[in-house]
Each structure stands twice: as C-alpha cells, then as structure tokens.
Amino acid sequence: MLRRRPLSVLLALAAVAGGGALYAQLESGERGILPLDSSNTLEMGGIKVDVGGKTADEARYNGWRIAQREGFKALWAKTHSRPISEAPTLPDSTLDQLVSSIIVESEQIGPTRYIATLGVLFDRSRAGELLGVAGQVSRSAPMLLIPITVTSGAATSVEQRNAWQRAWAEFRTSQSPVDYVRVSGMGMDPLLVNAAQTGRPGRGMWRNILDYYGAADVLVAEVQLRRVYPGGPATGTFTGYFGPDRRPLGSFTLTAQNSAAVPEMMTRGVQQMDALFGRWQAAGQLSPDPSLIVPEPPVIEEPVEEVEEAPKPVQQAPASFIQVYVTSPYSPVGWLRSIPGVLEVREFGNAILSVRYRGSPAQLSAALNARGWRTDTTGTVFRITGYGPTQQPAAPTPQPQAPQPQPPQQPAPQPALPATNTVQPAPGGAAD
C-alpha cells in the first residue's frame, strides 16, 4: 500500500540539503521500484514442478496445471492450519476460473521437460468462499516499512535499487496481518526514508514523515549481507526493529549458494520477516506510539457578537365603531377627537355620535372621565351626560383642639440707662 499526502514542511527540508547533493539524489535513474498491489489476490508461491511432455510448450502447460492444483491445496492448508492431505481436490475447469495468474520465480525449459519454481495468484472474490477467507483480514495500524541493506560497511535503503527492496516491493501483503506502507524510492523518498533517519529518535521529524506517508508508526527490516568472495556463497542476517527507538523484535540467518541465489534468499527473508512482525502484532506489541501522533492545533474561540433584537411591533387593538348618545348641553366632539385611539367621529344630529375607536367602550369612557366628562355605560348604551363633577366632596368639619400649654414668659430685659459724667468733689476742696 502506497499512500502519500502533501506536506509543505518536508519540501523545505529538500532545500536544506544543498543544491548539488539534492540534484544528485533526486535525478538518479538507478532507483525506484513500485510495490505490487495485492489487495484483490491470494498468493501461494514456492511450488516446485518437474514434468515432461511431447513438446516444450506441452511440458510447460502441464507444469502450470500441477502448480494450480498444489497451490490451491497448499493455500487451503495454510488458511485452515490443517495438513495438506485434508485439502479438497478441485477439477481443472474450476481452478482455471479461480486462478488469476502464474508467477514464474525460476524455470528451466527443455525440448520435452519443464523444471520450475512457480507461484499461483488466486482471485480473492472467487476463491475466498472456497478457502474461507471471504471477509476482511484483521490488520494492524498502517506501518511505514523501511528496508535497509548493510553490505561492505555501507547501509542503503531506497537510494539505489537492491535485492532487499525489490523483495519487499514484490511481496504480496493481502494475507499479512500487518498493514505495510511501502515506499517506491522515487521522488523525495531517498531524502526522507533512509538508513540515517532510522537512527534518529527525535519525534518532531518522525511526525512529519509519518504524516506525509499516512502511517501511524515505523517498522525497520534490516539485512546484513556478507559474501565469502564476489559471486560466491552469501549469508544474510535479518533483524526487525519497531518504532523510532529501534526496539529489536528478533533476527534470523539465511544463506545463498551464490550471487544468483541471493534474490531467492531475500524473498524467503521477506516471508520470515513478515511472520516475525505478525507474531508481535498478534501479541498486541505493535501499537502505535502516542508520541508520534500529530497534535491538533488549539481551538481559538472567536468572540460572539451580540446581535440586538429588533423591538417587536406593538399589536394595536382593532378599531370599531361605538354609538354615543349625548344628553349634555355641551358638545364633546372636540374632546373625543383629542383622545388617543379615536380615528373618526361622525355626527348624526346633535344627540347621536358614531366614534371609530381603537379600544373598548370602557376604555373610551375612562378617557372621557379623565378629561372631566360624565358618562353612563349602562348595558350596551353609551351616554355622555354632562361636563364637570356631579358632587363636590364636603369639606371636613374642623375638630376643636385642646389648648396647648404655653411656656412661661420671661420678663423683657430693661434697657440700660446712659452713663452721666458726674464729678465728685474732692474731699476738703471746692469743685471747679
């Protein structure tokens, strides 16, 4: 599965790498292997045939027929975890409708003999019911797969085409419990997914990479390839890692007789590595790291503008005509027209009026009484009998009040007499 989403942050990373180095990595034509889409097929490989025939074509046709029969039985036994001897035998006419294609892993064709290792692809929709796998397979969260090949002290991922990357690209993941996100090696893949990045545990860059490829976590499949001599026997040590911290999951070793057998060794390594990842997935140990989840941006609450509601219109009472009989010597027409709610006053002689009023007769009577008119609304007859109050209220009779004690009067102060200049005679002498 190959999923990508545009990410502007990673585009800026390309500019940091430098113009010359960037051009050298992105313009190389020795890289790029597209993964096979196996979502609609079921595969069984590694079927060895050795048959003969009258001609080379007949021998090859017979070999493919045998591959179909043995492939279905092997796939049924693998699906149900039962011995292959219990698998049902289907006729060739039915198998021809179930088989989607034949994969030639290796073959040797003679005039009357055919020796090959074949793989058979069955159509999932047709063969699923017979195999009991019509439903969806329970799978893990999307895992970004990074294949790394270490040979001669150099680690390579998808910068150049290699047998390890090709084996993962040709691996059919329809029955795998792990949901792999495989990269092709084209575009920006060499800059983002490489051996150096797998040794960086920083979560910031990993969040951007996983978000770019639409994955939840990362799986690293590494193989250390050692050769006895160029073109001779080779030994591969395969190790699986999980997460940005490279938590080891397990390792195993495979051998190849010569360089021509290395691709086959890589294919077997992919199958065993997938089984290794599947066991950890079944044990619930491949849960995505929460620190790799891209945090949601904070929600900024916008101020709510208070909208003033428009005042509701005041519902006015309907207007109606009120017939008024006037027995007063004074005409109330002018006063009636000044009352709020009176729309029209019609005179029919001097004693009958028709008043178009927005209200009830009681309200009209109260408005006239407030202006000094006397009215009578007995029954349904409305009369204006006069102007002014009918009787003045009697003034209350003053009650005699008890005499209040008066405070004692103080005598008025007497005015002081003016002083006189009196000369007293000096003793023994006469006055001047």
Where do the structural domains in the chain lie, given as residue ranges? 41-131, 137-292, 320-387
For 373, phi then psi, to 5°, come to -85, 145
CB atoms within 10 A of CB 432: 6
CA distance 418 to 21: 132
Task: Determine contact, residues 180/1, Cβ cutoff 8 Å.
Answer: yes
CA distance 109 to 117: 12
For residue 150, the model assigns a pLDDT of 94
Whose structure tokens read 């009958």? 352
Q: Which string of DSSP letters, residue by residue, matches 153-178?
A: TEEESSSS--HHHHHHHS---TT-SS
CA distance 240 to 250: 6
Q: Residue 330 burial (CB < 10 Å; 0-12/13-18/19+)? A: exposed
Nearest C-alpha neighbor of 246 from the set 279, 284, 217? 217
**Quick one: how far is CA 390 from the chain centroid?**
83
The domain made up of 137-292 has a fold known as: Rossmann fold (3.40.50)
How far is residue 71 from each of residues 66, 88, 101, 103, 329, measured CA to CA in Å? 8, 12, 12, 12, 125
How far is residue 326 from each of residues 71, 103, 340, 373, 426, measured CA to CA in Å? 118, 118, 20, 11, 109
| Paired tokens of 141 | 């969260």
> How are beta strands 113-123 and 99-109 bridged, if at all?
antiparallel
CB atoms within 10 A of CB 331: 14
Q: DSSP 3-state helix, strand, coil percentages of the chain (rounded to 5)?
A: 30, 25, 45
For residue 425, the model assigns a pLDDT of 44
Kindly indicate whether the domain formed by 320-387 is annotated with CATH number 3.30.1360.210: yes
**Segments of the chain scoring below 70 in pLDDT:** 1-29, 37-40, 132-138, 309-317, 379-380, 389-432
How far is residue 68 from each of residues 43, 93, 211, measured CA to CA in Å? 11, 11, 41
For residue 381, the model assigns a pLDDT of 77
CA distance 1 to 34: 10
For residue 136, the model assigns a pLDDT of 53
pLDDT tens track for 158-193: 988 899 999 999 888 877 889 899 998 888 888 899
Task: Determine contact, residues 328/371, Cβ cutoff 8 Å.
Answer: no
For residue 101, the model assigns a pLDDT of 84
pTM score: 0.55
Decide: helix, strand or coil at residue 45: strand
How far is residue 336 from each of residues 75, 292, 317, 347, 371, measured CA to CA in Å? 106, 86, 18, 12, 10
Q: Residue 390 burial (CB < 10 Å; 0-12/13-18/19+)? A: exposed
CA distance 109 to 52: 10
How far is residue 148 from each of residues 21, 34, 153, 155, 241, measured CA to CA in Å? 21, 17, 12, 6, 11
**CATH fold match for the domains 137-292 and 320-387:** no
Alpha helix ranges (H) inside 17-55: 19-26
